[in-house]
Amino acid sequence: MWMDTKVEVEEGGRRSSSRWWRVTGGLLLCTGDMEHLDKFMQEMPFVLQLAEWGLRGVSRVIFANNPLSGALILATLCWASPWQGLLGTLGVLASTLTAVITGQDSAEVSGGLHGFNGMLVSLLMGVFSSAGDWYWWLLLPVCLGSVLCIFLYTGLSPLLDRWDLPVAVFPFNILILLYLLCTGPDNPYFPHYLTTPPGLPEHNGTELMAVEVTRGILLGVGQIFACEALGPSLLILGAVLLYSPLLVAHALLGSAVGTLAGLSVAVRHDSLYSGLSGFNGALGCMAIGELFFTYSWRTHLFAIASAFISAYSDIALSNLLGTVGLPACSWASTLTVTLMTGSLAAYRIPIGQVMAPEHNLRSRSEWEAADRESTDV
Amino acid sequence: MWMDTKVEVEEGGRRSSSRWWRVTGGLLLCTGDMEHLDKFMQEMPFVLQLAEWGLRGVSRVIFANNPLSGALILATLCWASPWQGLLGTLGVLASTLTAVITGQDSAEVSGGLHGFNGMLVSLLMGVFSSAGDWYWWLLLPVCLGSVLCIFLYTGLSPLLDRWDLPVAVFPFNILILLYLLCTGPDNPYFPHYLTTPPGLPEHNGTELMAVEVTRGILLGVGQIFACEALGPSLLILGAVLLYSPLLVAHALLGSAVGTLAGLSVAVRHDSLYSGLSGFNGALGCMAIGELFFTYSWRTHLFAIASAFISAYSDIALSNLLGTVGLPACSWASTLTVTLMTGSLAAYRIPIGQVMAPEHNLRSRSEWEAADRESTDV
Amino acid sequence: MWMDTKVEVEEGGRRSSSRWWRVTGGLLLCTGDMEHLDKFMQEMPFVLQLAEWGLRGVSRVIFANNPLSGALILATLCWASPWQGLLGTLGVLASTLTAVITGQDSAEVSGGLHGFNGMLVSLLMGVFSSAGDWYWWLLLPVCLGSVLCIFLYTGLSPLLDRWDLPVAVFPFNILILLYLLCTGPDNPYFPHYLTTPPGLPEHNGTELMAVEVTRGILLGVGQIFACEALGPSLLILGAVLLYSPLLVAHALLGSAVGTLAGLSVAVRHDSLYSGLSGFNGALGCMAIGELFFTYSWRTHLFAIASAFISAYSDIALSNLLGTVGLPACSWASTLTVTLMTGSLAAYRIPIGQVMAPEHNLRSRSEWEAADRESTDV
């Protein structure tokens, strides 16, 4: 029912004009990729278009592609911390604008593909800064970093194209490490916190609390936006639900798998409670399970495997980078998904046709129906 | 004589029925790639087939491809340490089975190409574990690591295929580092030893003993299987001799070159005595000199160069990774061979046709004979 | 006027036979790529040819391709330090000879493309050695390193060819790190200095001196040859001026940009004064601005961006590698230029046709004239 949004709405309108149908229809119009918006936006002024591209970019961070999800996420971030909200908005706008000015592919720009790296760089610069909120000088590296994301994107794109791999969040991961390395913890202009590796043994061995761990699984979704509060994490989950309920299921499943992986090698409790153990698993699970592949039990298995590999790699990389005080960001899930995309090429949906998982599901059943028909004839 | 095994045996059988011929014939049937076994095995039950694939996988670690060599090596490992023998067996079976289940190319599976990474991961996990032998929980990461080897293999394969490069032991090298990084030295479940970099200066400057260094050259071959005793190392050399005497010569030459390289930059005596300085040289020398290329004086030179580069790179990488307590495994020889394979593409035997060096040698002389004939005509 | 060297000289000769024209003509013959020399050299004995290839290799370090510039630079290095001059000469000759012996492409050899990596490795080995000048044992690693450069070059070449990228100074950067890692600071045979990361906070906070910083910008050009004196740096600039005045402008611009980047993240004063902050910016600016692309305002912008990215990456990498006492060499600019080359493929001059920037400029205006004519017709 969810999948055939437009068709159902039209039919529903014809069948009955009750108030219920109109409300559901309106809601359903806001779900999925909202492709119908594109035609409508083409006649709008540039500022509104830019806003739509930016909001799509915000939702792209969590593998969604829906401006309303993006708006809800941005509002949530502003609620959790207005300063972080400002940085995120600036980042996504700066990188989208740079992409427009340097003349990148317009389909990519309007799909928000040039916004999410800039947003992530900005958010993480804000989170790691030890100069406190509203430290205005931080806007300089934030803008520079967002602009450089586009340069890195266009530089990496031809390299990865050889294997038909997406650039994903490689620019963000590279830039945030370079920024943190450039400015040490004691930098007079841009000081930042050192990261503690998750494998560091704890001396005051407290009991592990099940409630806190469960909370950590939910926080794992918020950590994708570097947000460590329960309310905002739930709202972000709600925003993803608007795009696709299947994606929410995979996000929670991946976060749980990541937390399980963390438990199995005894990482610090802190890391479990804050959701840091879970977010790479969530990213790995969402990417494989939903966006790249059609839905089948095999894809489901691969998604869980991807979550486990992402989570273990993240612990390993965090321990390695933690020796020099650096975070592992989402290197683990990005590398895992890149490698798995290569190995699962046979099951993959062509990059241009990736849409909301529900849509992919429908296409698959449609394809099969089409296949059956052609066989019958 | 060695090369024309089958032909000679048949002819020998016809020419004389003396006991000597039968013994030699039987022995010669067990050397080289033992291709004749494949046809015979196809009618055997699956368990026996799996055993043959596994044993081929064991011998693949040291660039051989002969189930009897594999059996001899496995028996040697069990003799040196029953626990290590168990881990190795489990690793090679787990990864070969995973390859069968996930439907990898059957020629690759039956050639043992999906077994050696799993075996190496398992052996090294056992060697680095500081929880002692018969610590049954270790079987969990051993199985998981062996299974993941196949995932990494299929992920890396399309990437390296672009340059027609083999995946080699990249999965093993990646996974063992990730495992050691995941579980630090003080991990409550899976503790492990820290590695000391070979370049660390020695304070109690003892004299270098020539006998011990010579012993280290022999141990360098055993270290390929993480085995540090003289008897087993000699038996492993014997198992390789069964496959190809040329390979043994290159293994010893490479180990000697590696030890020489270690002497030239004054690594710790310990590293020379234990064979750790030699095994990357041995791997580099064997890979270039025998498996990838036909035999000529130029290949011989390249093999020695490869041994030197592998050995020096290994010292460098060991010193680098040693700063965070990690071993360099066989990264040095794997990278060196990968690079040299690219630069020596002109001399290379196509991947599918690589066989025992003696066979390659014969093919080359046959090719040349064929060339001459075609020119004459 | 500068650009149409040969044409002008011939015309000048016809129009007037005054002494002024002959002097200018002679001077102009020595500028640019000096292609006319190639035909002349083909009949010379091998030793003279080798010398020309070597000198072109010396000038290639700083993106020039002119044997006279090379000779001037080599003389400058000998003046600054005879020992360094000897090492550099040995390095460039050893690697060029290896390329000749192993049968590399003759056009690449005669263009000096197989000399500059060897020279850089040798110079840096000398600079980092803490055993003092005229430590003759150092000639062993110098020769070995120069020879290995060719092996690495031929190994990396097919890998990078897939994206039509040049090998650049990757072999040098890899080999010098391997050498420094092999031989630690306390090595009994080849001891070397540890590198201090530029981001280390300074405890005795002295005032920053503008004069010294300006001097650092000039020294940034000398640092490309690991030379830290003002006189030689100016002479090197003179040698580049002989090849192309535009290249000099970009070298100074890049060095200034690099110093600015260093100031913006408060690196150690020492790093600014010695030119170490500037040289990666200079390399990045020269490579993008001049050699790979035709001259336009857009290329100019990209060159400045490249200088900034190179400089910031260099600070980041220096801080990272500095934690284990290693220098970042020119990794930053090499990686930046490699990535940008990929992203700016549309503006790029095909590798085989890259010449002095003035020549590229002329070709572009010629192309445009040709275009206009064909449109008019």
A135 exposure class (CB count in 10 Å sphere: 0-12, 13-18, 19+): middle
Chain A contact present for B266, CB below 8 A: no
Please say if the pLDDT value at position A28 is more than 50.
Answer: yes
Rounded-to-5 percentages of helix, strand, coil across chain C: 70, 0, 30
What number is the average pLDDT over the span A77-101?
95
Q: Could you identify the residue written with the tokens 């011939």?
A: C10
Is the model's pLDDT at C345 over the cut of 80? no
- Please say whether the dihedral angle defined by the alpha carbons of residues C331, C333, C334 and C339, taken in this order, is positive or negative: positive
Q: Check residue B280 and give its pLDDT.
A: 94
Distance from CA of B262 to the nearest CA of C (A): 9
Q: What is the pLDDT of residue B359?
A: 67
What rounded mean pLDDT belongs to chain B?
84
Residue A31 pLDDT exceeds 50: yes
User: Is the Cβ–Cβ distance between A330 and A283 less than 8 Å?
Assistant: yes
Q: What is the pLDDT of residue B143?
A: 95
pLDDT, residue C371, reads: 54
From A182, A190, A324, residue closest to C323, measured CB to CB? A324
Q: Alpha-carbon distance C221 to C239, whole Å? A: 11
CA angle C46, C52, C55 (to 5 degrees): 140
- On the question of pLDDT at B6 being above 60, the answer is no
**In the predicted structure, residue B376 carries a pLDDT above the cut 80:** no
* Cβ contact C309–A177 (<8 Å): no
Q: Reduce the DSSP state of residue A276 to 3 states and report it.
A: coil
Least confident segment among A101-105, C176-180, C319-323: A101-105
Q: Do B343 and C159 lie within an 8 Å CB cutoff?
A: no
User: Cα-atom radius of gyration of chain C, to the nearest Å?
Assistant: 21
Chain C interface includes A178 (CB < 8 A): yes
Percent of chain C topping pLDDT 70: 81
Tell me the mean pLDDT in the region B106-112: 89
Per-residue pLDDT tens digits for C31-56: 777 777 777 777 888 999 999 999 99
Single-letter amino acid code for the residue at C69? S
Measured between beta carbons, the chain A residues lying within 8 angstroms of B182 are 199, 265, 312, 315-316, 319
Return the pLDDT at C362. Answer: 61
Tokens 């908005």 belong to residue: A89
A377: pLDDT confidence band, cut at 50, 70 and 90? very low
pLDDT over 70 at A351, yes or no: no
- Percent pLDDT > 70 in chain A is 81
For residues B91-95, give the mean pLDDT: 95
pLDDT digits (tens, 9 = 90+) for A262-304: 999 889 888 999 999 999 999 999 998 776 666 667 778 888 8
Band (pLDDT 50/70/90 cuts) for residue A70 is very high
Instruction: Select from C201, C315, C339 the Cβ nearest to the Cβ of A182.
Output: C315
Contact B317 C181 (CB under 8 A): yes
CB contact under 8 A, B343 and C154: yes
Query: What whole-number distance in Å separates Cα of residue B58 and Cα of residue B75?
Result: 11
For the cut 50, the answer to whether the pLDDT of residue C377 exceeds it is no
Q: Tell me the pLDDT tens digit for each residue of A172-206.
A: 999 999 999 998 788 888 999 988 888 877 766 67
Higher local confidence (pLDDT), C251 or C19: C251
Q: pLDDT grade, residue A218 (50/70/90)?
A: very high
Q: So what's the pLDDT on residue A6?
A: 45
Whether A312 and chain B come into contact, CB under 8 Å, resolves to yes
B203 inside 8 A of chain A by CB: no
B79 vs C298: which has the higher pLDDT: B79
CB contact under 8 A, A265 and B187: yes
CA distances from A94 to A34, A100, A119, B50, C175 (A): 24, 10, 9, 58, 39
**Closest CB to A189 among C265, C317, C340:** C265
- Domains of chain B in start order, with CATH, are 46-193 (1.10.3430.10), 208-372 (1.10.3430.10)
Residues of chain C in contact with residue A162, where contact means CB-CB under 8 angstroms, are 162-163
C323 touches chain A (CB under 8 A): yes
Residues in CB range of A291: below 8 A, 6 or more apart: A63, A354, A357
Is residue A224 within 8 Å of A274, Cβ to Cβ? no
| Region of poorest pLDDT, from A293-297, B4-8, B218-222, C108-112 | B4-8
Q: Is C159 on the interface with A (CB under 8 A)?
A: no
Let me know: does C216 contact C279? Beta carbons within 8 Å: no
- In this structure, of A135-139, B25-29, B68-72, C130-134, the range with the lowest mean pLDDT score is B25-29
- Reference A84, options A110, A123, A45; nearest CA is A123
CA–CA separation, A119 vs A121, rounded Å? 6
Q: What are phi and psi of A72, to 5 degrees?
A: -65, -40
What local confidence, expressed as pLDDT, does residue C283 receive? 94
Q: Which residue has the higher pLDDT, C6 or C176?
A: C176
More confident residue, A376 or C86: C86
Across all residues in chain A, what is the average pLDDT? 84
Per-residue confidence band for C302, with pLDDT thresholds at 50, 70 and 90: confident
Closest by CA position to B236, among listed B112, B76, B64, B118: B76
Q: Does C181 touch chain B (CB under 8 A)?
A: yes
Please tell me which of the candidates B151, B187, B324 has its beta carbon nearest to residue A343.
Answer: B151
**pLDDT above 90 coverage of chain A, percent:** 50
Q: Which residues of B touch C156 (CB under 8 A)?
A: 339, 342
Helix (H) or strand (E) holding A72: helix A67-80
**Residue in chain A nearest C343 by alpha carbon:** A155
What pLDDT score does A2 carry? 42
Torsions phi, psi for B348 (to 5 deg):
-85, 145
The residue type found at C295 is: Y
Distance of CA C162 to CAs A155, B46, B81, C166, C175, Å? 15, 43, 47, 10, 23
Confidence of residue B210 (pLDDT cuts 50, 70, 90): confident
At A290, is the secondary structure helix, strand, or coil?
helix
Looking at the complex, report in whole angstroms how far the Cα of residue C254 sits from the nearest Cα belonging to chain A: 18
Question: What chain C residue is nearest to B319 in terms of C-alpha separation?
Answer: C181
pLDDT surpassing 90 at residue B307: yes
What does the pLDDT average to over A221-234? 93
Residue B199 is predicted with a pLDDT of: 80
**Contact at CB, B148 and A199, closer than 8 angstroms:** no
Question: DSSP alpha helices (H): ranges in C61-138?
Answer: 67-80, 82-101, 106-110, 116-128
> How high is the pLDDT of residue A252?
95
Q: Which chain A residues are closer than 8 Å to B148 by Cβ? A: 309
User: Distance between terminal CA atoms of chain C?
Assistant: 29
Stretch (H or E) spanning A83: helix A82-101
Nearest to A177 by CA among A329, A359, A28, A15: A329
Q: What is the mean pLDDT of residues B77-106?
A: 93
Q: Return mean pLDDT, chain C.
A: 84
Contacts of B178 (CB under 8 A, 6+ apart): A312, A313, A316
| pTM of the full structure | 0.87
Q: Is the pLDDT of residue C200 over 70?
A: yes
What confidence score (pLDDT) does residue A60 get?
Answer: 92
Q: Give the pLDDT confidence score for residue C217 in this predicted structure.
A: 94
pLDDT over 70 (residue A11)? no
Q: What is the model's pLDDT at position B377? A: 45
Nearest chain B Cα distance for residue C170, angstroms: 13
